[in-house]
């Protein structure tokens, strides 16, 4: 895939900018990088903290040719993990469905937003938010104990441009796997990179209340599988997933 990078100093959200570009006909591989976001967001409308000049705030436009996108968020998580490791040697893990974590603390997240036309995806805006050079004071009091940056983890300043290059490269690789229907490769890789080992005791806050059980992996559609006393529960979304 050929990437065309558009840079903005500040914007509400890179996904919002990219979606407007997509609606105007921008090609696949169009990417938006911002120095800061004023209204960055995660899943379910949560706010994403975007300290100016400290992180990688990136959105990539994809135009899938009719294939299943159910594993796109997991594939993007793998791309982010690979990029952090290959660019700076930091071993991060993935917390289902869209968090990149280090030592149990959130280092980044993925937000995938799709536009469906005629029952098929017209485009997907794939958003990455990665904490790169944040110091502790760059996080709010509420986030300080649960968030972490690459700089904090490594003890050195990190190269955001180098990280960007690696994220785009690995996005191309894992999106290629998805487009070729290699769902098993994505699922197995995600399970290997998971912050939860198979059999680990989990607490899941689902729409119908809290559920406790053992991590049983993810299925071919990217759903979380949890083994409970009454059998295996399948979750396509959940507010909180944590180790017990």
Structural domains of the chain sorted by starting position, each given as residue range(s) with its CATH number in brackets? 4-193 (3.30.930.10), 201-243 (2.30.30.100)
Note the pLDDT of residue 117. 79
**Is the Cβ–Cβ distance between 9 and 37 less than 8 Å?**
no
In the chain (244 residues long), the average pLDDT of successive 10-residue segments reads 96 96 97 93 64 94 88 97 98 96 96 86 94 94 92 98 98 96 96 95 88 95 95 88 83
- What pLDDT shows up at residue 169? 98
- Kindly give the residue spans of alpha helices, DSSP state H, lying in the chain: 14-23, 72-88, 150-154, 160-179, 183-193
Q: What is the pLDDT, as a whole number, of residue 43?
A: 60
Using a cut of 0.85, tell me whether the model's pTM lies above it.
yes
Torsion of the alpha carbons at 132, 26, 179 and 130, rounded to the nearest 10:
10
> SS3 helix, strand, coil % of the chain, rounded to 5?
30, 35, 35
Confidence (pLDDT) at 39: 84
CA distance 124 to 72: 9
């Amino acid at each position: 895939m050929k990437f065309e990078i558009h840079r903005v100093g500040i914007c509400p959200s890179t996904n919002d900018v990219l979606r407007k570009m997509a609606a105007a006909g921008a090609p696949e591989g169009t990417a938006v990088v911002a120095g800061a976001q004023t209204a960055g967001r995660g899943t379910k409308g949560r706010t994403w903290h975007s300290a100016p000049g400290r992180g990688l705030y990136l959105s990539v436009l994809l135009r899938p040719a009719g294939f299943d996108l159910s594993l796109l968020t997991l594939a993007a998580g793998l791309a982010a993990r690979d990029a952090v490791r290959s660019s700076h040697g930091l071993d991060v893990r993935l917390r289902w469905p869209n968090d990149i974590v280090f030592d149990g603390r959130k280092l980044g997240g993925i937000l995938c937003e799709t536009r469906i036309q005629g029952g098929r995806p017209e485009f997907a805006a794939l958003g990455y938010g990665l904490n790169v050079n944040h110091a502790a004071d760059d996080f709010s009091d509420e986030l300080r104990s649960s968030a972490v940056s690459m700089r904090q983890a490594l003890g050195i300043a990190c190269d955001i441009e180098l990280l960007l290059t690696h994220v785009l490269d690995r996005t191309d690789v894992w999106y290629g796997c998805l487009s070729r229907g290699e769902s098993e490769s994505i699922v197995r890789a995600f399970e290997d990179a998971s912050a939860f080992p198979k059999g680990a005791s989990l607490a899941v806050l689902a729409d119908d209340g809290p559920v406790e059980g053992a991590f049983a992996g993810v299925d071919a559609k990217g759903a979380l599988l949890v083994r409970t006393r009454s059998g295996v529960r399948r979750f396509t979304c959940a507010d909180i997933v944590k180790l017990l």
